[in-house]
């Protein structure tokens, strides 16, 4: 079994906790905790970095003295960054705050912050996602409803080992990067990065996907 933490410095962490708790009877999860200190971080096997404001999460992490611990954690432990969390995991973020912002610098992708416009431009879209078939209890091709809130887009993959999982059809986001559609979910070694908010729906297949991924990773180490 695994103990999963959700970074709870700012943003949509409660919803992730609820989604994980809803899985406790069907996946091998022993405990789900909110992580605010390096001690709590050290106690978990896998981590979710939620959506919110990536600049704020990084600032609070820095002030809490846990930025270096986070950097070390994400090198090897299963970690899922959603939205702002994806930005934090990335090696390269465009449209960051003046003066730059701290990144965990581990996922070899380039993300564009706020790629789909402002808060009012938030949208949802249903897409079939073959990568979820394994966690769909026998039914295949059931579309997932993706929620985008001032979301980042993955503009480029900067290492051939990065696996692309889901992309949006052309026509969403800025044309400079959307000619072939925009990538919104990737996997790389121990890391999962998604630009949407799966914790805001009742469909918990992405959480199951991550838990399975984390169980595989922890079994190997
Ligand atoms: N716009 C936020 C950022 O740049 C991310 C938005 C979100 O996490 N919903 O950090």
At 13 the pLDDT is 97
- pLDDT band for position 177 (cuts 50, 70, 90): low
Q: For 73-92, what is each residue's pLDDT tens digit? A: 999 999 999 999 999 999 99
Is the CB of 84 inside a 6 Å radius of any atom of ligand 1?
yes
More confident residue, 46 or 220: 46
Helix H or strand E encompassing 144 = strand 144-148
Catalytic residue among 83, 172, 207, 217: 83
Q: Mean pLDDT throughout 8-17?
A: 97
Atom of ligand 1 nearest to the CA of 83: 8
Of 116-120, 131-135, 208-212, where does the model show the most confidence? 208-212
- pLDDT band for position 169 (cuts 50, 70, 90): confident
Task: Report residue 37 CA to chain centroid gap.
Answer: 20
Give me the interface pTM, i.e. the ipTM.
Answer: 0.94
Give SS3 for 81. Answer: strand
Furthest-apart CA atoms within the chain: distance in Å: 49
- The pLDDT of residue 171 is above 80: no
Is 131 among the catalytic positions? no
Is 95 among the catalytic positions? no
What's the N-to-C CA distance of the chain in angstroms?
Answer: 13
Q: For 32-59, what is each residue's pLDDT tens digit? A: 999 999 999 999 999 999 999 999 999 9
Q: Mean pLDDT throughout 101-109?
A: 94
At 122 the pLDDT is 83
At 29 the pLDDT is 95
Q: Mean pLDDT throughout 199-204?
A: 94
Is the CB of 113 inside a 6 Å radius of any atom of ligand 1?
yes
To the question of pTM greater than 0.90 for the whole model, the response is yes
Task: Report residue 183 CA to chain centroid gap.
Answer: 13
Is 197 among the catalytic positions? yes
Helix H or strand E encompassing 184 = strand 182-188
The count of residues in the chain is 221
At 221 the pLDDT is 41
Is the CB of 87 inside a 6 Å radius of any atom of ligand 1?
yes
- The pLDDT of residue 131 is above 50: yes
Is the CB of 149 inside a 6 Å radius of any atom of ligand 1?
yes
Distance 26 CA to ligand 1 centre (A): 31
Q: Where are the domains of the chain?
A: 2-220
C-beta separation of 81 from 87 below 8 A:
yes
Torsion of CA 155, 153, 81, 78, to 10 degrees: -30
C-beta separation of 176 from 144 below 8 A:
no
Residue 158 burial (CB count, 10 A): 13
The Cα 104–Cα 90 span in angstroms is: 7
- pLDDT band for position 138 (cuts 50, 70, 90): confident
- The pLDDT of residue 99 is above 80: no
Distance 196 CA to ligand 1 centre (A): 10
Is the CB of 114 inside a 6 Å radius of any atom of ligand 1?
yes
Q: Which CATH code fits 2-220? A: 3.40.50.880
């Amino acid at each position: 079994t695994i103990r999963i933490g959700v970074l709870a410095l700012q943003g949509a962490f409660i919803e992730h906790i609820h989604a994980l708790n809803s899985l406790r009877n069907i996946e091998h999860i022993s405990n789900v905790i909110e992580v605010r200190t390096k001690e709590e971080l050290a106690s978990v096997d896998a981590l979710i970095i939620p959506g919110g404001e990536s600049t704020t999460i990084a600032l609070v992490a820095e002030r809490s003295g846990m930025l270096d611990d986070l950097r070390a954690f994400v090198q090897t432990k299963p970690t899922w960054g959603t939205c702002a969390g994806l930005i934090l995991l990335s090696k390269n973020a465009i449209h960051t705050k003046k003066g730059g912002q701290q990144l965990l610098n581990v996922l070899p992708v380039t993300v564009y912050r706020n790629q789909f416009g402002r808060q009012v431009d938030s949208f949802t879209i249903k897409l079939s996602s073959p990568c979820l078939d394994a966690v769909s209890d026998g039914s295949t091709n059931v579309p997932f409803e993706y929620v985008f809130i001032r979301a980042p887009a993955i503009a480029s993959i900067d290492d051939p080992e990065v696996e692309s999982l889901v992309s949006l059809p052309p026509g969403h986001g800025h044309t400079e990067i959307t000619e072939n559609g925009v990538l919104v979910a990737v996997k790389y070694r121990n890391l999962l990065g998604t630009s949407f908010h799966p914790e805001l729906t009742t469909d918990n297949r992405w959480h199951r996907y991550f838990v399975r991924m984390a169980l595989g990773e922890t079994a190997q180490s």
